[in-house]
């Protein structure tokens, strides 16, 4: 606990009113800016940050970086200072905007958020992270307690303050953060980078749509044991495949294969827009709605998703140097164009799956509603575009878009059975997911398998039905060749 008390005046400007949050790393106070006449939040740093002069200097550097960030979903930083008390100890503090709303931890405590709202919140948080990453600022402690839900949307707190990289000593290094949301590479590299923020956001998305903690990690020892045996993404019932694919990419064990924050923001926003236009709705507040999320620790109420505290721990250095990590310069295979192609491939299916998606879509069979009189059978004629000369994600955009159109027209003809329709849709989702993750070899294999299925259906068909399969077959063949060139 800090030495701050109600009525304390900081540098003749900030008058402390009451403590509104506390955790292992800091306390948050509501205060009044006597110069500008406005309410503010004052965060006093505690623990090793307050005691170590080197870390205090680091806090100042990070505060300066955070103060340069201007984004609608980033909490504004106004000032930074230090208070020296009569006994000689020093406590640094940060002055920020005071927010009205509730923390994401409190929102999640009431149960699953719903995939559409989770995507909107995720898009806003990803946009905030992207703005920070563009200025070489990494958050390093993205978690429910560091995100506020306000009338204007999500607000990210504590950029560069909640989890500063510690200075290494002769035997180990200081890691500050929340193990439950830390990326696997945190234990083998001295400093986190933007990919670690994306991983944490991926974990947040999982917890928002499921309403429960992804893991029970509360310490760095548990963190190390958990990531020694990576587990696949658990099923996310009711979540559209395109959203699931984005989440899977965000929590990929390899930092190089994760999307950039700006790509994730565009993709999540585009996928959520048809189902939930506009920003995150305002959260109803009580008589005194002004508050700031606690830095860590348990939240009030019977939380289904408790808020783990930020932890500081010296972790031994790895015995061997980690493999050289690919440079993240430029766009990875998960380019904005490919992400938008995933949105195209989802199309109408996204809304349909949001309303009524079976838990196991691979085994689902949809029975179409038929009118009393059977409509005349028509033939789908879609001329496939020539194979794009440019390889990679940008070529995949056109192919996936054309393939989606061909499949939709084939479905409308009633020339395929409900089971074939389901297998075709799931096959396209699987291919797009692998492309989204940059796994071109697996995308090629899945395109080849789907091509064989379609060929079998065409062989068994007669007349108009046989001809109707040709556009899909040609486009799948082009997609398979494109994936092969990039694998």
Q: What is the pLDDT of residue 242?
A: 77
Confidence bin at 291 (pLDDT 50/70/90): very low
C-alpha to C-alpha distance for 366 and 78, rounded to whole angstroms: 56
Annotated binding site for ATP: 43
For the cut 90, the answer to whether the pLDDT of residue 215 exceeds it is no
Q: What is the pLDDT of residue 79?
A: 92
Residues with catalytic function: 141
pTM of the model: 0.63
Q: What is the mean pLDDT of residues 103-130?
A: 94
Q: What is the pLDDT of residue 340?
A: 53
Percent of the chain with pLDDT strictly greater than 90: 23
For the cut 60, the answer to whether the pLDDT of residue 77 exceeds it is yes
Q: What is the pLDDT of residue 74?
A: 94
Q: Hey, what long-range contacts does 350-356 have (CB within 8 A, 24 or more apart)? A: 350/240, 350/242, 350/271, 350/274, 350/275, 351/274, 351/275, 353/240, 353/241, 354/115, 354/116, 354/238, 354/240, 354/275
Percent of the chain with pLDDT strictly greater than 70: 64
For the cut 80, the answer to whether the pLDDT of residue 11 exceeds it is yes
Q: What is the mean pLDDT of residues 414-432?
A: 80
Q: What is the mean pLDDT of residues 367-379?
A: 36
Q: What is the pLDDT of residue 115?
A: 93
Is residue 439 within 8 Å of 393, Cβ to Cβ?
Answer: no
C-alpha to C-alpha distance for 477 and 279, rounded to whole angstroms: 40
Q: What is the pLDDT of residue 1?
A: 74
For the cut 50, the answer to whether the pLDDT of residue 148 exceeds it is yes
Q: What is the pLDDT of residue 8?
A: 95
Q: What is the pLDDT of residue 323?
A: 39
Q: What is the mean pLDDT of residues 232-255?
A: 84
Q: What is the mean pLDDT of residues 269-294?
A: 49
Half-sphere exposure of 293 (CA within 13 A, CB side): 30
pLDDT greater at residue 420 or residue 368 = 420
pLDDT greater at residue 296 or residue 177 = 177
Confidence bin at 71 (pLDDT 50/70/90): very high
Q: What is the pLDDT of residue 389?
A: 38
pLDDT greater at residue 310 or residue 435 = 435
Q: What is the pLDDT of residue 483?
A: 80
For the cut 60, the answer to whether the pLDDT of residue 126 exceeds it is yes
Confidence bin at 342 (pLDDT 50/70/90): low
Digit-coded pLDDT (tens) for 232-243: 777 888 888 778
Q: What is the pLDDT of residue 253?
A: 86
Q: What is the mean pLDDT of residues 216-223?
A: 70
For the cut 70, the answer to whether the pLDDT of residue 175 exceeds it is no
Q: What is the pLDDT of residue 400?
A: 72
Confidence bin at 171 (pLDDT 50/70/90): very low
Q: What is the mean pLDDT of residues 5-9?
A: 95
Mean pLDDT is lowest, of 73-82, 197-206, 283-292, for 283-292
Confidence bin at 401 (pLDDT 50/70/90): low
- Of 89, 319, 288, 322, the closest CA to residue 189 belongs to 322
pLDDT greater at residue 60 or residue 284 = 60
Q: What is the mean pLDDT of the chain?
A: 72
Q: What is the mean pLDDT of residues 267-295?
A: 51
Digit-coded pLDDT (tens) for 346-363: 543 443 343 334 434 433
C-alpha to C-alpha distance for 91 and 52, rounded to whole angstroms: 10
């Amino acid at each position: 606990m800090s030495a701050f008390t109600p009525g304390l005046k900081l540098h003749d400007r900030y008058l402390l009113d009451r403590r509104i949050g506390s955790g292992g790393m800091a306390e948050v106070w509501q205060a009044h800016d006597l110069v500008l006449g406005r309410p503010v939040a004052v965060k006093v740093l505690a623990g090793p940050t307050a005691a170590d002069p080197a870390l205090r200097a680091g806090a100042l550097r990070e505060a300066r970086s955070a103060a340069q960030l201007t984004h609608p979903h980033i909490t504004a930083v106004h000032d930074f200072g230090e208070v020296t008390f009569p006994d000689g100890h020093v406590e640094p503090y940060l002055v920020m905007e005071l927010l009205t709303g509730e923390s994401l931890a409190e929102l999640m405590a009431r149960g699953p958020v719903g995939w559409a709202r989770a995507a909107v919140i995720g898009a806003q948080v990803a946009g905030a992270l992207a703005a920070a990453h563009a200025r070489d600022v990494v958050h390093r402690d993205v978690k429910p307690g560091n995100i506020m839900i306000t009338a204007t949307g999500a607000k990210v707190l504590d950029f560069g303050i909640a989890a500063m990289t510690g200075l290494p000593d002769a035997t180990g290094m200081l890691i500050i953060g929340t193990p439950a949301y830390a990326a696997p590479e945190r234990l083998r590299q001295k400093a986190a980078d933007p990919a670690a923020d994306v991983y944490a956001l991926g974990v947040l998305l999982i917890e928002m749509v499921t309403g429960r903690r992804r893991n029970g990690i509360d310490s760095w020892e548990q963190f190390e044991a958990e990531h020694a045996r990576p587990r696949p993404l658990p099923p996310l019932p009711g979540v559209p495949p395109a959203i699931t694919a984005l989440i899977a990419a965000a929590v990929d064990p390899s930092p190089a294969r994760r999307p950039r924050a700006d790509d994730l923001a565009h993709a999540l926003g585009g996928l959520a827009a048809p189902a939930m236009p506009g920003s995150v709705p305002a959260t109803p507040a009580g008589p005194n709605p002004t508050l700031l999320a606690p830095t860590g620790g348990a939240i009030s109420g019977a939380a289904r998703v408790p808020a783990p505290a930020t932890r500081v721990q010296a972790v031994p250095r790895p015995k061997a140097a980690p493999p050289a990590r690919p440079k993240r310069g430029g766009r990875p295979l998960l380019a904005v164009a490919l992400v938008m192609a995933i949105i195209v491939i989802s199309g109408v299916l996204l809304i349909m799956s949001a309303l009524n998606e079976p838990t196991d879509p691979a085994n689902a069979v949809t029975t179409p509603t038929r009118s009393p009189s059977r409509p005349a059978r028509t033939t789908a004629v879609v001329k496939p575009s020539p194979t794009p000369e440019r390889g990679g994600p940008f070529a995949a955009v056109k192919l996936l878009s054309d393939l989606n159109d061909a499949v939709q027209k084939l479905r409308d003809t009633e020339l395929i059975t409900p089971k074939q329709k389901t297998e075709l849709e799931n096959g396209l989702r699987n291919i797009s997911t692998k492309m989204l993750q940059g796994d071109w070899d697996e995308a090629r294999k899945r395109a080849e398998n789907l091509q064989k299925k379609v060929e079998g259906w065409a062989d068994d068909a007669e007349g108009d039905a046989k001809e109707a399969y040709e556009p899909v077959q040609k486009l799948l063949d082009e997609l398979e060749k494109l994936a092969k060139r990039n694998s």
